Amino acid sequence: MADIRLVKPQANTAQTVSCAADSRFVLEFPSDAALFARDGDDLVLTFEDGSSIRLQDFYTTYSKEEMPSFEMEGAEISGEDFFAALGNPDLMPAAGPTAAAAQGNSSFNVYGDAALLSGIDRLDGLDISFNFGQQTQDDLYASIGRDDGEDRVDHGVTVTPNEPGTLDPEIPVIPNPDNPGDNTRPGTSNSILTVSEADLGSETCPSASGSMQITAPDGVGSIVIDDVTVFENGSPVLENGEPVRIPTDEGFLTAVYNPATGSLDYTYTLTDSTQEHSQAGPDEIAHNLDVTVIDTDGDSASSTISIIIGDDIYTANNDSITVTEGENLQVSGNVVTDEFGRDDPGADGLGRVEWNTETVEGGYTLTQTDGGSYTVSLDGETVGTLTLNDQGGYTFALQEGYNVTDETPDLVIGYTGYDKDGDSDKAQLTIDIKPDMNVPSVIVPDAEDASATVHESGLNAGGTEASTDKEITSGEITL
């Protein structure tokens, strides 16, 4: 005969126990602690603190002829005596709703619903007392898990994601991000949570949530996620009053277990970018967090939460600036940070900028100097000096005295911007070199005023100035 041990659950929690033929129920609680009621085919024991034990399919597993026995404080009691002691014989197998209704017993006319409105009585009709009184939770765990050498029903544990998924084996799993083929736990029933770096920088951090259903008829002893205990001894593990965090390099997971429903709910919050991979482009990395549930007598089951983090990329934009002969001979800027043409390195941040000084549009030639700057030449003539740095900064100084014309081409320099994990994008900087528009010019008067006459006779002999003004005229020339 197998023993099915019944221990009072924690407050406000429900426990379901499967029934088996030819069994003995061992009650591990005081005789007056439980209320008994029939709910359909189940026998339900309820306690004053809101906890309950449901003996599933009790009335289809047992009959009046094949009754289970009960044990209390080492004393075995026949099923018939046990139910007789309850003071309500209608709780006895084979006297359920159908038989009771036929006999006109109104107390059992409503067993079809789950309200447990009738058939309730305390287990106080037995002349048995418990010398240990109400056991503590630790004592109850110990009594459930003890091996007394007798056969007993040992219930296992199951952990099932509510939305199971398969982790793509091509996604590198930390701590081996550079070897995608080393993902040995892609799983077909993982819980998949996906977040993206592109959502960082907003008012709230990006997050994703999921849940698992835990079935542990013997009660949940502990829940451990990635070596961090989140639930034990009937209570959540807290840190500063909040659920303990399971950290990754980019964020953290928090989990809350509800004993009443068996649901393990969790949320992953992304707080930082990932730089744990070397492949360029909008790729992904993953963390596998193992979930292990151990019941009160040592049975365990596991599942996996897979956190997928999407990598964003560097976005480069074309920039332009103008230098004008005779006005601003020197201009400076930054292709990453300037408002016009600003680049976006993404959540990973700026890594570096590489300038393409070998191939420059416009026919210009760049020659590096000892100081690291470049001499800019066009058709063998020095046009100016260009200074570049690896953070996107630049300075161009036009050579003083260089004759800029309308035909002078733009100086176009290409560059590649990289974020901190190697993603890149290309763009170009255009320096528009304009001529000085404030050059001298002569304005000719209208035709009727465009000439004047002087007379040689107005001069004295020998060409000296005379007292007359015949040798003088006046007008206006505008430059």
Percent of the chain with pLDDT over 70: 73
**Is 108's pLDDT higher than 70?**
no
Residue 348: pLDDT band with limits 50, 70, 90: confident
| Four-way CATH pick for 158-310: 2.40.50.140, 3.40.640.10, 3.10.20.30, 2.60.40.10 | 2.60.40.10
The answer to whether the beta carbons of residues 40 and 19 sit under 8 Å apart is no
Name which residue leads in pLDDT, 114 or 148: 148
Predicted pLDDT of residue 412: 94
Predicted pLDDT of residue 191: 93
Q: Count Cβ atoms below 10 Å from residue 34 Cβ, excluding itself.
A: 23
Out of 106-120, 145-159, 179-193, 287-301, pick the least confident.
106-120
Averaged pLDDT, 291-297: 90
Strands 424-434 and 411-419 turn out to be antiparallel
Name which residue leads in pLDDT, 382 or 112: 382
Predicted pLDDT of residue 113: 32
Q: What are phi and psi of 247, to 5 degrees?
A: -85, 150
User: Domain map of the chain by residue range?
Assistant: 2-145, 158-310, 319-434, 441-479
Name which residue leads in pLDDT, 113 or 413: 413
Residue 122: pLDDT band with limits 50, 70, 90: very low
**Is 221's pLDDT higher than 70?**
yes
Predicted pLDDT of residue 223: 96
| Four-way CATH pick for 319-434: 3.10.20.30, 3.30.450.20, 3.40.50.620, 2.60.40.10 | 2.60.40.10
Residue 130: pLDDT band with limits 50, 70, 90: very low
pLDDT digits (tens, 9 = 90+) for 360-386: 898 999 999 887 899 999 998 999 999
CA distance 290 to 191: 10
CA distance 140 to 131: 15
Residue 442: pLDDT band with limits 50, 70, 90: low
Residue 198: pLDDT band with limits 50, 70, 90: confident
**Is 1's pLDDT higher than 70?**
no
Out of 36-50, 102-116, 289-303, pick the least confident.
102-116
**Is 45's pLDDT higher than 80?**
yes
Averaged pLDDT, 448-466: 62
Average pLDDT along the chain: 78
Predicted pLDDT of residue 213: 94
Residue 317: pLDDT band with limits 50, 70, 90: very high
Name which residue leads in pLDDT, 179 or 237: 237
**Is 206's pLDDT higher than 50?**
yes
**Is 103's pLDDT higher than 50?**
no
**Is 188's pLDDT higher than 70?**
no
CA angle 79, 43, 142 (to 5 degrees): 80
Predicted pLDDT of residue 146: 38
Averaged pLDDT, 87-103: 56
Predicted pLDDT of residue 97: 41
Out of 6-15, 64-73, 354-363, pick the least confident.
6-15
Instruction: Examine domains 158-310 and 319-434 and report if their fold is the same.
Output: yes
Please return the burial class of 316, using the count of CB atoms within 10 Å of its CB with bins 0-12, 13-18 and 19+. Answer: buried
Predicted pLDDT of residue 212: 94
Predicted pLDDT of residue 153: 63
**Rg of the chain's alpha carbons, rounded to an integer?**
45
Predicted pLDDT of residue 82: 84
**Is 388's pLDDT higher than 90?**
yes
Residue 114: pLDDT band with limits 50, 70, 90: very low
CA distance 92 to 81: 10
Residue 397: pLDDT band with limits 50, 70, 90: very high
- pTM reported for the whole predicted model: 0.50
Predicted pLDDT of residue 466: 59
Averaged pLDDT, 98-104: 35
Name which residue leads in pLDDT, 188 or 269: 269
**Is 296's pLDDT higher than 90?**
no
